[in-house]
Chain A
Amino acid sequence: MDEVQLLHRFLLVGALLFAIGLVGFLSRRNMIVMFLAAEMMLQGVSVSLVGWGRFHNDWGGQILVIFILAVAACEAGIALALVLMLFHRSGRLDVAVWQSIRESNQPKFVDQQLPEEPLTIEHWPVLPHAGVQPELPAEEMIHRSHV
């Protein structure tokens, strides 16, 4: 395998990682998942850097990646702290909760409700009571009704 082919594979993997990360970042609303997707884009770029570094027979690319890892770790710390703060405020991880940063006269983005599935009521055989009914906590009764 010559160097050019190797480079192509590096770049292919890097591009794939970046694209997956991008799609994930754009399509998910969970802040932690968005953060992970962003990390993934970062790593995609790192992989291509390593590939180029090797191609040019230069350690610069690898060194840069080490730096990126270090910086990404810091960034991860800060980003997770922010996510945690936001979660504390709203109790939710949905980023769409914070859409009040929009222009004041713009309409609010409202989630479209999925069509509700018809709830099929299942009939369980009801047996006659025998003996003493064991006392069950109310919470457990709720679970039981669905089991």
Chain B
Amino acid sequence: MFSTETFMVLVPALPLAAALFVGLFGFKLLKERSHIPVIAALATSFLLSLFLFGAVQSETSQKRAGASVGVEKLVRLWTWADLNDAYRLGEGEQAAQRPFSIDVTLRADPLTAIMLSMVTLISLLVAVYSVGYMHGDPGYPRFFAYVSLFVFSMTMLVSVSNFVLLFVFWEAVGLCSYLLIGYWYEKPEAAAAGKKAFLVNRIGDFGFALGMFLIWTTYGTLDFHDVGPGGELVSATSPDEGGQVAVQGVLGQSRLEDPAKGYVGGGVALAICLCLVAGACGKSAQFPLHVWLPDAMEGPTPVSALIHAATMVTAGVYMCTRCTPLFAASPEAQAVLAVVGGFTALLAALIALTQNDLKRVMAYSTISQLGYMFLGVGTGLLAGIGAGMFHLFTHAFFKALLFLASGSVMHAMGGIIDMRRFGGLRRIMPWTHLTFLAGCLALCGVFPFAGFYSKDAILAAAHDRGHDDLVLLAGTSLQFSLYTVLYYAGMFTAFLTAVYTFRAYFMTFHGETRIPPEAGHHAHESPRSMVVPLAILAVFALGVGMVVTYYTDIFANFLHHTPSLAFSGLAAESHGEGGHLQVEALSTVLALAGIGAAAYLFLGERRQVEELSLWMRAVRLYRLSFYQLSYNKFFIDQIYNALIVAPLRLLANISNWFDEKAIDGLVNLVGRVPPAFGAMLRPLQNGLVQFYALAMMLGLVVLIGTLLMWPAS
């Protein structure tokens, strides 16, 4: 009953049960109490996740040091789509009838355990916060049902051990995201934002699906784990005990033992990885598919915090981390991943500089931070991947905190989120102010708060990788490395991060107290159910980096026991610790400089803002000042509109015209034939009784005549 396997099933099952219960009975029975089952389920899930975490950790600590075998626990629920003779494309001997089945199998390994604990904790805090934030909303039960459904999907996403199921829950979180962005569906912007998020994600998912097909063609299975000859599961720890492997899982231990033999390289690996990167870009809002995330802020703020900052958008990072062995087989794909991440981080930070909508600043900040994570995973170093996951972990706390604090501001300001319309709120909302400040410090990476450790770890990994990859530029004596460029881009982004974060902070909480008229008499501190989660998150945001770095070995040692990360090819590349003092010093100095710049510009009378915007207006790029570019998000939405939306709309209009005129015309033509015949007979019904009598008589004459004339048979 209280086995690890039961916990693995219960963690996703409880939110699902709560979602169904609230969805079915919320409106009739629970009404204003709808949060109770959801919060109870999430709290239980969180505790179970912690137990699971402990169980996995105790297992890792038993491993001998330096062993390149990961730790995983598997539990199979049932087998879905069991086909014995699926056809597998391929050349020569590879093309064959292969058995195809989808194991509905849950896994517990360090990566999953970390993700589960993080997801359930954040969602629990967000659910508690929502009790205050969503109070009085007519769709209150619906909101909690969706949130619970989302937590189910997300926990399944990180638990499943199969690419098809990963895809299924990948879509399920997308669905929940769509439902929650369009939660206030009467509002046209919210409905449009939901649609946009869904459609942009489809592009990425298309890539993911293609990648999945390629994996099936290349590796002949979609399971992560190895399967024995009798169909039994073979977990990573089993081969030591002599388990037989019949079907080598894509990320199974039997392949990982010898990566050079287990994984194909070259073009196929590159194609698989690029398809997966496309999927990750869609879900994690990376350039060029980042456009949906800022619009997704139309949803309720707790949703922005939970789904669009802390959990769902990190699914791409999770997936890339999970698929590390595939990426390790293709350094080019890793470079693409790192470039996408680094570029997105910089781009989003530049856009965030000039946005006036508090939540939108946070949205671009999220995109930027996700870019960091991709950069970290893209370095391909064990330290870098660990750092990416570490940043994912810390970012979840401080970004959820920042969003919830923004929501608290929005709540108090009567739905106004434009930073130009309020100011000096630190006197009205002391708790929100302090927690927001904590989130800002963590986000900027000020020593010793959370962001400092994780961001510096990523930058250090990029620095290391750049150091390794130095090549001499042809014809010059300059040394060049892609990763060095990305390292400097990341450094500059760190500076920008500090500027835009503290710009938002100073504009909102400092200066003279200004309250928009929409706030009415509501301009006060938020209720306790909102402030308590903020305080808890603030503690995490400030302390989690330090605690994790100095007091536990979650990311330094524990995470590396994930099977995908514990193989020899990767472990060999990892560097020893230490020697990154210069990176840390530089980034701290940059962060403080950014804060100082923001303070100089946005504290006080803001006279300097004019200077800055003049300066930014002066920097021109072909008739467009830098300020305009940033304020208009580099016109990416407009470019997409012109290049993709407008031609598609034209095509749709043409198709519509063809459908209405040509096809409907043809159908209507057929439809007009019976009435035409009817029209020919219609004069018979002329309403004259005598005529009817005559017709009857003539008919009788014809009948009798025929009867008489008929040859007797």
Could you tell me which residues of chain A, from 98 to 112, have a CB within 8 Å of some CB in chain B? 98-103, 105-106, 109
CB neighbours (8 Å) of B685 from chain A are 102-103, 106
Could you tell me which residues of chain B, from 653 to 711, have a CB within 8 Å of some CB in chain A? 682-683, 685-690, 693-694, 697
Give the distance in Å from the alpha carbon of A102 to the alpha carbon of B686 in the complex.
Answer: 5
Q: How many residue pairs at the A-B interface have CB separations less than 8 Å?
A: 38
Pick the residue among B682, B686, B688, B693 that contacts A25 (CB under 8 A). Answer: B693
Q: Is A101's CB under 8 angstroms from B687's CB?
A: yes
Give the distance in Å from the alpha carbon of A29 to the alpha carbon of B689 in the complex.
Answer: 9
Interface string of A32-57 (1 = CB under 8 A from B): 00100000000000000000000000
Q: Which of A26, A29, A100 has the most CB of B within 10 A?
A: A26
User: How many B residues touch the partner, as a band?
Assistant: 10 to 19
Q: Is A106's CB under 8 angstroms from B686's CB?
A: yes
Pick the residue among A27, A29, A34, A98 that contacts B687 (CB under 8 A). Answer: A98
Cβ of A69 within 8 Å of any chain B Cβ, yes or no, is no
Cβ of A16 within 8 Å of any chain B Cβ, yes or no, is no
Cβ of A7 within 8 Å of any chain B Cβ, yes or no, is no
CB distance from B524 to the nearest CB of A (A): 71
Return the chain A residue nearest B684 by Cβ.
A103
The dominant DSSP class at the A interface is: helix
CB distance from A92 to the nearest CB of B (A): 14
Interface string of A13-39 (1 = CB under 8 A from B): 000000000100111010000100000
Q: Is B689's CB under 8 angstroms from A103's CB?
A: no
Q: Is A102's CB under 8 angstroms from B687's CB?
A: yes
CB neighbours (8 Å) of B693 from chain A are 25-26
Give the distance in Å from the alpha carbon of A27 to the alpha carbon of B686 in the complex.
Answer: 17
Q: Is A29's CB under 8 angstroms from B690's CB?
A: yes
Cβ of A80 within 8 Å of any chain B Cβ, yes or no, is no
Q: Is B687's CB under 8 angstroms from A95's CB?
A: no
Give the distance in Å from the alpha carbon of A27 to the alpha carbon of B690 in the complex.
Answer: 7
CB distance from B638 to the nearest CB of A (A): 56
Cβ of A96 within 8 Å of any chain B Cβ, yes or no, is yes
Q: Is B687's CB under 8 angstroms from A26's CB?
A: no
Q: Is A99's CB under 8 angstroms from B687's CB?
A: yes
Give the distance in Å from the alpha carbon of A45 to the alpha carbon of B101 in the complex.
Answer: 85
Pick the residue among B686, B688, B697 that contacts A22 (CB under 8 A). Answer: B697
CB neighbours (8 Å) of A96 from chain B are 688
CB neighbours (8 Å) of B689 from chain A are 34, 95, 98
CB neighbours (8 Å) of B690 from chain A are 25-27, 29, 95
Q: Is A103's CB under 8 angstroms from B688's CB?
A: no
Give the distance in Å from the alpha carbon of A95 to the alpha carbon of B693 in the complex.
Answer: 13
CB neighbours (8 Å) of A103 from chain B are 682-683, 685-687
Give the distance in Å from the alpha carbon of A65 to the alpha carbon of B40 in the complex.
Answer: 92
Give the distance in Å from the alpha carbon of A126 to the alpha carbon of B687 in the complex.
Answer: 53
Q: Which of A22, A95, A102, A109 has the most CB of B within 10 A?
A: A102
Give the distance in Å from the alpha carbon of A91 to the alpha carbon of B138 in the complex.
Answer: 66
Return the chain A residue nearest B687 by Cβ.
A102
List 28 interface pairs A-B (beta carbons < 8 Å), by A numbering. Answer: A22-B697, A25-B690, A26-B690, A26-B693, A26-B697, A27-B690, A29-B690, A96-B688, A98-B687, A98-B689, A99-B686, A99-B687, A99-B688, A100-B687, A101-B687, A102-B686, A103-B682, A103-B685, A103-B686, A103-B687, A105-B682, A106-B682, A106-B683, A106-B685, A106-B686, A106-B687, A109-B686, A109-B688
> Which residues does A use to contact B, with CB under 8 Å?
22, 25-27, 29, 34, 95-96, 98-103, 105-106, 109
Beyond A26-B697, A109-B686, 18 extra complex contacts between A and B, CB < 8 Å: A25-B693, A26-B693, A27-B690, A29-B690, A34-B689, A96-B688, A98-B687, A98-B689, A99-B686, A99-B687, A99-B688, A100-B687, A102-B685, A103-B682, A103-B683, A103-B687, A105-B682, A106-B686
